[in-house]
């Protein structure tokens, strides 16, 4: 194999060769630069391949014909080779990207670019301290040159500020180096590591100076004002290089120093890293300029990797896997985003809306964001999993919570940006059409996905890109060009086929959930046949959500469970975001869900105690004092998904603003993921005592309050879809309550709600969605009298509300019946009263659906309305049949589950003999109830028909009492503020306390970020003082070394 | 002797840093950094200096056989040479920046160049 020294030699030679060429030979100069970079990239690539496959061994390259320490030596192992490849590949791609700029600037700029990538490669490979300094200075000088590539005049000042800071850094470093040399008699890093004890004792200050100088080169928060200015103003291709390549090189340098510094200095690195990660992410919240935001994010990510480097004492063998995963994901994602920013005309975040209409670029954008945040299936996800497990096992919980908090903030501002891109009015300036730039971005996307595959292979877990559901979802990316109806058919077929192939693998409980997710998903997807065109983005998102759900049900270990959980979260986020007004709601959904997911992650990590492969069944073997903590974390995480009261504020907007066929998916199906998690948790862990408090008791209260308040808030809605959304909070409250009762009937009732809620909520969302589609409004007071024009929708709503209100004869009554039986066997009285109370409240809002939408007088503008489209009506009619069928023979599904639950809670099972169901307290005979109610209904209906002849037709009129002045038109409508008197009495219960609470937290974070970022005054001298202050503070915190 | 050189070096570094941070004029800052760099170089040389020894040049005066006992440590000297070269490069680059900055705004006051901040 060709010696890696040629990576340095070729760049250097190329740069000199460029100096010999004539200035106008732009094409020749550019070709030489590309060839050199392509050669170094290929060489580095060959070494990576050789080292990874074991064909070659790590090499030491000696110079000047002498052994170290008398001459400089370089080393290339697998980690170094990968970094050198990363650096040179980024250099090559940036050179391609910079084609036009380099043609204008000429050969000198190209030479500087070559020197820059050579210097960075040198930093990675060298084993000599002074040589490290030289390469750093070369990088500084070439940075100074490359900043000038930018057309932004502000870049000049940024470059000067950088040079000022780097002067300070180089002074610190040189002084440190000479005293370290004095203490150890060698400049060789390996010699120094061998003499580490001596160096850290006598030359501690010297080591500190070197260490802090290299850390300063990483541009960590808060001593990094100049770096942010560079990120903001330099050419994006150069910013990509700085963030991806220079950052990685400096990280390798820090890592080398840590082998000398040992555990004491790893602790320092951890603290500096985590402060940088959290601080920079927090500051980024207040950013509105894309490249500065990316700069903050780079600082945060590099901080994260320094943190990982600082944790290598506990990471052991997985250190390279974790650090490499985070680093490469960051490098590809960040370089990709910077390159992408070069296509965008405006600099504010909303200007990225120019990407609309470029599905490939939007896919690239989403991939880069996912890489940065560490979502599945990207390397950061695997790395995060290992990292969190090992930190949790070591009990470093403060660090862990800071880490996850920072990650949540980062996901928040990055996805907010994504929301702007998708939902804001398209920016007038189109994306730049340059073929080169698009090609470079395409390569970055490819690299990101290849890394995802590679890390999946390297990880000890199953590769997520081998999972059939995941592949099926990704396949829709490849067939995005096809018409939506074709894709819809494929999607339905896929869901059903997966159900058929996995059918035998389910236990009865899983089977219920699988039926709802897969068969139920297929029924809802029938409604999607309604949408013509290609419907870009819908199917990959929806199928990602379904893939996550499908994998969740079958998950046996915590890793698969969590990966599935994050996949369904991300898929549903993209899905919800499609709604017309859903930008803020989708974001709040995502932040809550990811927050919940991080709690789940922490719970699993604590439970696993360092073993990153942990079977879910192992949850049952946990003991005090760990078990209740695990229970608490997991339960809160799952309750975020079921929108338990307090964590519910994302739900109404997200469900109401989603598209017509998306609302039933995210309400009818997605909410069940949380319930499935809770089932899993309770089956394995049962009751847990937390400082004397029975946690299931607390859950019961939360369930009861959710039921009460969710229903109450639904009563006061004017928007039909919001009403249904709030009602879901109440329904999930019932299910939570049933689960938390921890007795047989409670669980059976929860399952009954799982099934019922899916059927009637999907049906109602479809009918209301159809009505909204026809009338063009979701406000109920603007509808009315639609019964004759939309009879099928009316029937669906009528059946739906009968079922939901829990009156005979439909299946809702079955749920109630089991609930009442369950309550008789439970000891807790007060929460039960709340649940009882919420029943009648549900009548109030359900009544409005019929009353205000279908009864009353038809509005003039609605006289020509037709029934909802066929494809919306068809699934509703299927649901009607299901509801009637399930009402008649509930035992079909439930008796198996009943038997299954007996495995865990044997007491109180029901008797399913014949058509009658018997409990300890009474019996329920669905068929006879149906018959009786049918007879009564027919009699009353006949009577009504009889007396109908005498009824008068009325004219439209407004009801305004004297002295009431109608300021707004809707105030005169009888159906507006329908329950005004109840609102007066009970309205205090719907005060948006939780909205204000979470809103205040978000405001606080933003205000803090906005105020404290003024610390970066823009003055180069102030930045230098920051740097010195940083050095002093670290010195003092380290305890004077 | 070495101690005096080293103390002078550190004083020069401090003077340089103080000058660079307290003068707003960009040219003065550059000069101040040059002073600090000189100080660093002096420190480097002082660390390698050993009393009573001669320059690390192997010729008739210092035969190879006696070199280890008679010459001072050559490494710091080599480092200083490299550091000086790098220092010149950086200073030249800073001066080029100063020139370009002056052309954009007509001032050399660093506090005027705060368009990028926060």
Q: How far apart are CA A196 and CA A202, in angstroms?
A: 10
Q: How far apart are CA A381 and CA A548, in angstroms?
A: 15
| Mean pLDDT confidence for A112-120 | 96
Q: Are A542 and A491 in contact (CB under 8 A)?
A: yes
Model confidence over A625-652: pLDDT tens digits? 899 999 999 999 999 999 999 999 999 9
- Chain A residue whose CA is closest to B108: A157
Identify the pLDDT of residue A861. Answer: 87
More confident residue, A292 or A898: A292
Identify the pLDDT of residue A856. Answer: 83
Domains detected in chain B = 2-51+68-112 (1.10.287.3510)
Distances A818 to A551, A744, A814, A846, A883 between C-alpha atoms, Å: 30, 10, 6, 21, 17
Model confidence over A535-551: pLDDT tens digits? 999 999 999 999 999 99
Q: What is the ipTM of this complex?
A: 0.96
Assess whether pLDDT exceeds 80 at residue A2: yes
Identify the pLDDT of residue A966. Answer: 61
Residues B60-93 as b or e (16 or more Cβ within 10 Å = b): eebeeeeeeebbbbebbbebbebbeebbeebbeb
Q: How far apart are CA A1023 and CA B117, in angstroms?
A: 11
Estimate the crossing angle of helix A626-641 against helix A695-715, to 10 degrees: 10
Distance from CA of A1024 to the nearest CA of B (A): 7
Q: A565-569, A572-576, A892-896: which has the minimum mean pLDDT?
A: A892-896
User: A170 touching B, CB under 8 A?
Assistant: yes
Distance from CA of B60 to the nearest CA of A (A): 23
Q: Closest partner residue to B21 among A154, A187, A1021, by Cβ?
A: A1021
Q: Which residues, in sequence order, are CB contacts of A634 under 8 Å at separation 6+?
A: A599, A600, A603, A604, A677, A681
User: A290 touching B, CB under 8 A?
Assistant: no
Estimate the crossing angle of helix A993-1012 against helix A247-284, to 10 degrees: 130
Question: For chains A and B, what is the number of CB pairs under 8 angstroms?
Answer: 121
User: Would you state the structure tokens that stand for residue B32, as one six-digit string?
Assistant: 């101040």
Q: How far apart are CA A144 and CA A162, in angstroms?
A: 8
Q: Are B13 and A175 in contact (CB under 8 A)?
A: yes
> B71 forms bridges with which residues in the sheet?
B54
| Mean pLDDT confidence for B66-74 | 81
In terms of C-beta density within 10 A (0-12 exposed, 13-18 middle, 19 or more buried), how is residue A556 classed? exposed
Q: Are B107 and A220 in contact (CB under 8 A)?
A: no
Q: Is the Cβ pair B94, A160 closer than 8 Å?
A: yes
pTM score of the predicted model: 0.94
Longest dimension (CA), chain A: 114
Q: How far apart are CA A297 and CA A276, in angstroms?
A: 10
Q: How far apart are CA A929 and CA A936, in angstroms?
A: 11
- Chain B residue whose CA is closest to A133: B83
SS3 state of residue A815: helix
Nearest Cα to A603, choosing from A553, A549, A677? A677
Q: Are A106 and A23 in contact (CB under 8 A)?
A: yes
| Mean pLDDT confidence for A75-92 | 95
Q: Which residues, in sequence order, are CB contacts of A732 under 8 Å at separation 6+?
A: A642, A643, A644, A671, A674, A675, A706, A710, A757
Assess whether pLDDT exceeds 60 at residue A163: yes
User: Would you state the structure tokens that stand for residue A800, as one six-digit string?
Assistant: 């739906």
Distances A610 to A385, A386, A606, A607, A626 between C-alpha atoms, Å: 11, 8, 8, 9, 14
Q: Closest partner residue to B21 among A141, A1017, A1024, by Cβ?
A: A1024
CA angle A160, A165, A169 (to 5 degrees): 140
Q: Closest partner residue to B79 among A145, A178, A1025, by Cβ?
A: A178
Q: Work out the mean pLDDT of chain A and round it to a whole number.
A: 91
Distance from CA of A257 to the nearest CA of B (A): 20
Q: How far apart are CA B20 and CA A497, in angstroms?
A: 72
Distance from CA of A77 to the nearest CA of B (A): 27
Q: How far apart are CA A465 and CA A483, in angstroms?
A: 26
Identify the pLDDT of residue A825. Answer: 75
SS3 state of residue A642: coil
Assess whether pLDDT exceeds 60 at residue A872: yes
Q: Is the Cβ pair B117, A170 closer than 8 Å?
A: no
Q: Which residues, in sequence order, are CB contacts of A372 under 8 Å at separation 6+?
A: A297, A301, A329, A330, A333, A334, A337, A380, A410, A414
Q: Closest partner residue to B116 among A130, A157, A168, by Cβ?
A: A157
Q: Is the Cβ pair A179, B117 closer than 8 Å?
A: no
Q: Closest partner residue to B43 among A154, A178, A228, by Cβ?
A: A178
Number of helices followed by number of strands (H, E) in chain B = 4, 0
- Chain A residue whose CA is closest to B107: A157
Model confidence over A205-254: pLDDT tens digits? 999 999 999 999 899 988 888 999 999 999 999 999 999 999 999 999 99
Model confidence over A946-988: pLDDT tens digits? 887 777 766 655 555 556 566 665 556 777 788 888 888 888 8
Distance from CA of A131 to the nearest CA of B (A): 10
List helix spans (H) across A665-718. 671-685, 695-715
- First-to-final CA distance of chain B: 48
Q: How far apart are CA B97 and CA A57, in angstroms?
A: 45
More confident residue, A746 or A41: A41
Nearest Cα to A203, choosing from A222, A178, A228, A221? A178
DSSP one-letter string for A517-533:
IIIHHHHHHHHGGG--S
- First-to-final CA distance of chain A: 44
Q: Which residues of chain B are at the A interface, by a Cβ-Cβ cutoff of 8 Å?
A: 13, 16-17, 20-21, 24, 26, 29, 33, 36-37, 40, 43-44, 47-48, 75-76, 79, 82-83, 86, 89-90, 93-94, 97-98, 100-101, 104, 110-111, 113-118
Q: How far apart are CA A246 and CA A138, in angstroms?
A: 12
Model confidence over A738-758: pLDDT tens digits? 999 888 888 988 988 899 899
% chain A with pLDDT above 70: 98
| Mean pLDDT confidence for A348-376 | 94
User: A160 touching B, CB under 8 A?
Assistant: yes
Q: Are A335 and A440 in contact (CB under 8 A)?
A: no
- Chain A residue whose CA is closest to B88: A141
The DSSP element (H or E) to which A689 belongs, if any, is strand A689-690
Model confidence over A782-816: pLDDT tens digits? 888 899 999 999 999 999 998 888 888 887 888 88
Model confidence over A383-430: pLDDT tens digits? 999 999 999 999 999 999 999 999 999 999 999 999 999 999 999 999
Model confidence over A491-528: pLDDT tens digits? 999 999 999 999 999 998 999 999 999 999 999 999 99
Portion 201-260 of A in contact with B at CB < 8 A? 225, 228-229, 232-233
SS3 state of residue A829: coil
Chain B positions in Cβ-Cβ contact with residue A1025 (cut-off 8 Å): 21
| Mean pLDDT confidence for A12-36 | 93
Identify the pLDDT of residue A1041. Answer: 55
| Mean pLDDT confidence for A871-888 | 91
Q: How far apart are CA B99 and CA B103, in angstroms?
A: 6
User: Would you state the structure tokens that stand for residue A636, as one six-digit string?
Assistant: 């809160």
Q: How far apart are CA A137 and CA A118, in angstroms?
A: 12
Q: What is the 3-state secondary structure (H, E, C) of A742-754?
A: CCHHHHHHHHHHH
Q: Closest partner residue to A175 among B43, B75, B110, by Cβ?
A: B43
Q: Is the Cβ pair A178, B36 closer than 8 Å?
A: no
| Mean pLDDT confidence for A348-357 | 94
Q: Which residue has the tokens 């009315």?
A: A784
Q: How far apart are CA A784 and CA A786, in angstroms?
A: 6
- Chain A residue whose CA is closest to B76: A178
User: Would you state the structure tokens that stand for residue A318, as one six-digit string?
Assistant: 């997985």
Estimate the crossing angle of helix A484-502 against helix A520-527, to 10 degrees: 170
Q: DSSP assignment, residue B109?
A: B
Confidence of residue A778 (pLDDT cuts 50, 70, 90): very high
């Amino acid at each position: 194999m060709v010696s890696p020294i040629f990576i340095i030699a070729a760049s250097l030679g190329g740069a000199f060769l460029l100096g010999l060429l004539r200035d106008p030979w732009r094409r020749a100069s550019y070709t030489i630069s590309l060839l050199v970079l392509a050669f170094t990239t290929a060489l580095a690539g060959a070494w990576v391949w050789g080292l990874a496959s074991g064909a070659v061994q790590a090499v030491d390259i000696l110079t000047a014909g002498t052994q170290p320490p008398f001459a400089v030596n370089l080393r290339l192992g697998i980690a170094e080779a990968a970094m050198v490849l990363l650096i040179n590949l980024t250099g090559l791609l940036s050179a391609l990207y910079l084609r036009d700029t380099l043609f204008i600037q000429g050969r000198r700029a190209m030479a500087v670019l070559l020197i820059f990538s050579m210097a960075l490669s040198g930093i990675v490979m060298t084993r000599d301290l002074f040589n490290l300094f030289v390469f750093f200075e070369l990088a500084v000088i070439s940075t100074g040159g490359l900043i000038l590539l930018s057309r932004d005049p502000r870049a000049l000042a940024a470059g000067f500020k950088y040079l000022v800071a780097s002067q300070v850094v180089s002074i610190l470093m040189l002084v440190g180096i000479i005293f370290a040399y004095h203490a150890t008699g060698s400049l060789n890093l390996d010699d120094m590591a061998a003499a580490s004890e001596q160096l850290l004792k006598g030359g501690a200050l010297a080591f500190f100076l070197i260490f802090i100088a290299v850390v300063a080169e990483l541009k960590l928060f808060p001593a990094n004002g100049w770096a942010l200015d560079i990120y903001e103003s330099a050419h994006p291709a150069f910013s990509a290089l700085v963030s991806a390549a220079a950052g990685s090189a400096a990280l390798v340098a820090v890592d080398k120093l840590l082998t000398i510094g040992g555990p004491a200095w790893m602790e320092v690195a951890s603290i500096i890293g985590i402060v940088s990660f959290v601080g920079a992410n927090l500051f980024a919240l207040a950013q509105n300029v894309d490249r500065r935001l990316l700069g903050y994010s780079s600082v945060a990510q590099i901080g994260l990797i320094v943190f990982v480097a600082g944790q290598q004492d506990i990471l052991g063998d997985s250190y390279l896997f974790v650090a490499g995963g985070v680093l490469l994901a960051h490098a590809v994602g960040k370089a990709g985003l910077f390159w992408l920013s070069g296509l965008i005309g405006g600099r504010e975040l909303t200007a990225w809306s120019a990407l609309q209409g470029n599905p490939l670029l939007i896919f690239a954008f989403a991939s880069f964001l996912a890489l940065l945040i560490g979502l599945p299936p990207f390397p950061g996800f695997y790395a995060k999993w290992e990292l969190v497990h090992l930190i949790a096992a070591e009990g470093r919980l403060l660090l862990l919570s800071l880490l996850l908090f920072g990650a949540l903030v980062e996901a928040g501002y990055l996805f907010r940006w994504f929301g702007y891109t998708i939902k804001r009015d398209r920016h007038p300036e189109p994306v730049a059409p340059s073929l080169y730039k698009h090609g470079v971005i395409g390569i970055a996307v490819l690299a990101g996905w290849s890394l995802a595959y590679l890390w999946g292979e390297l990880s000890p877990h199953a590769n997520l890109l081998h999972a059939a559901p995941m592949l099926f979802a990704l396949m829709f990316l490849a067939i995005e060009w096809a018409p939506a109806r074709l894709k819809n058919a494929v999607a339905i077929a896929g869901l059903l086929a997966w159900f058929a192939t996995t059918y035998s693998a389910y236990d009865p409980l899983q089977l219920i959930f699988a039926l709802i997710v897969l068969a139920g998903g297929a029924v809802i997807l029938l409604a999607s046949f309604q949408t013509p065109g290609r419907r870009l983005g819908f199917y990959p998102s929806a199928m990602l959500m379904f893939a996550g759900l499908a994998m969740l049900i079958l998950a046996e270990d915590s890793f698969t469970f969590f990966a599935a959980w994050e996949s369904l979260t991300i898929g549903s986020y993209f899905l919800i975001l499609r709604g017309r007004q859903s930008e803020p709601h989708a974001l709040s959904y995502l932040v809550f869900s990811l927050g919940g997911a991080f709690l789940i992650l922490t719970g699993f990590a604590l439970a696993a105690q360092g073993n990153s492969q942990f079977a879910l069944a192992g949850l049952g073997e946990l003991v005090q004092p760990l078990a209740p903590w695990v229970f608490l974390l997991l339960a809160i995480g799952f309750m975020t998904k079921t929108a338990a009261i307090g964590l519910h504020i994302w739900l109404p907007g997200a469900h109401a603003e989603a598209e017509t066929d998306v609302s039933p998916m995210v309400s009818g199906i997605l909410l069940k993921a949380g319930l499935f998690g809770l089932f899993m948790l309770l089956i394995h862990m049962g009751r847990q005592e937390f400082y004397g408090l029975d946690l299931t008791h607390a859950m019961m209260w939360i369930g009861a309050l959710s039921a009460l308040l969710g229903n109450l808030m639904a009563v006061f809605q004017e928007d039909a879809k919001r009403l249904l959304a709030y009602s879901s909070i109440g329904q999930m409250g019932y299910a939570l309550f049933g689960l938390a009762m921890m007795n047989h009937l409670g669980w059976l009732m929860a399952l009954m709600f799982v099934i019922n809620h899916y059927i009637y909520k999907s049906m109602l969302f479809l009918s209301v969605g159809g009505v909204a589609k026809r009338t063009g409004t979701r406000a109920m007071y603007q509808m009315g009298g639609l019964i004759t024009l939309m009879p099928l929708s009316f029937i669906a709503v009528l059946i739906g509300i009968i079922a939901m209100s829990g009156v005979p004869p439909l299946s809702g009554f079955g749920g109630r019946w089991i609930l009442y039986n369950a309550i008789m066997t439970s000891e807790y009285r007060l929460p039960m009263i709340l649940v009882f109370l919420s029943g009648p409240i549900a009548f109030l809002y359900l009544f409005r659906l019929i009353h205000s939408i279908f009864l009353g007088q038809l509005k003039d503008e609605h006289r020509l309305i037709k029934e909802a489209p066929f494809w919306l009506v068809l699934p509703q009619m299927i649901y009607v049949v299901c509801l009637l069928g399930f009402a008649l023979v509930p035992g079909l599904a439930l008796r198996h589950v009943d038997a299954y639950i007996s495995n865990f809670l044997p007491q109180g099972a029901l008797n399913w003999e014949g058509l009658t169901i018997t409990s300890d307290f009474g019996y329920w005979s669905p068929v006879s109830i149906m018959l009786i109610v049918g007879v009564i209904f027919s009699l009353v209906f006949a009577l009504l028909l009889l007396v109908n002849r005498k009824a008068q037709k009325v004219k439209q009129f407004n009801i305004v009492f004297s002295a009431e002045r109608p300021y707004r038109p809707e105030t005169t409508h009888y159906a507006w503020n329908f329950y005004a008197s109840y609102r007066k009495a009970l309205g205090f219960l719907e005060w948006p306390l939780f909205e204000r609470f979470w809103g205040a937290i978000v405001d606080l974070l933003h205000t803090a970020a906005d105020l404290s970022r003024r610390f970066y005054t823009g003055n180069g001298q102030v930045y230098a003082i920051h740097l010195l202050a940083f050095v002093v503070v670290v010195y003092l915190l380290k305890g004077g070394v | 002797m070495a101690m005096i050189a080293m103390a002078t070096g550190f004083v020069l570094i401090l003077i340089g840093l103080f000058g660079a941070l307290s003068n707003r004029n960009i040219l003065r800052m550059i000069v101040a950094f040059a002073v600090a760099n000189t100080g660093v170089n002096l420190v480097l040389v002082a660390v390698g200096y050993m009393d009573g020894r001669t320059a690390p040049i192997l010729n008739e005066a210092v035969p190879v056989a006696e070199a280890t006992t008679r010459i001072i440590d050559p490494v710091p000297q080599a480092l200083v040479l490299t550091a000086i070269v790098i220092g010149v490069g950086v200073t030249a680059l800073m001066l080029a920046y100063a020139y370009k900055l002056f052309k954009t705004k007509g001032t050399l006051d660093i506090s005027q160049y705060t368009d990028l901040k926060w």
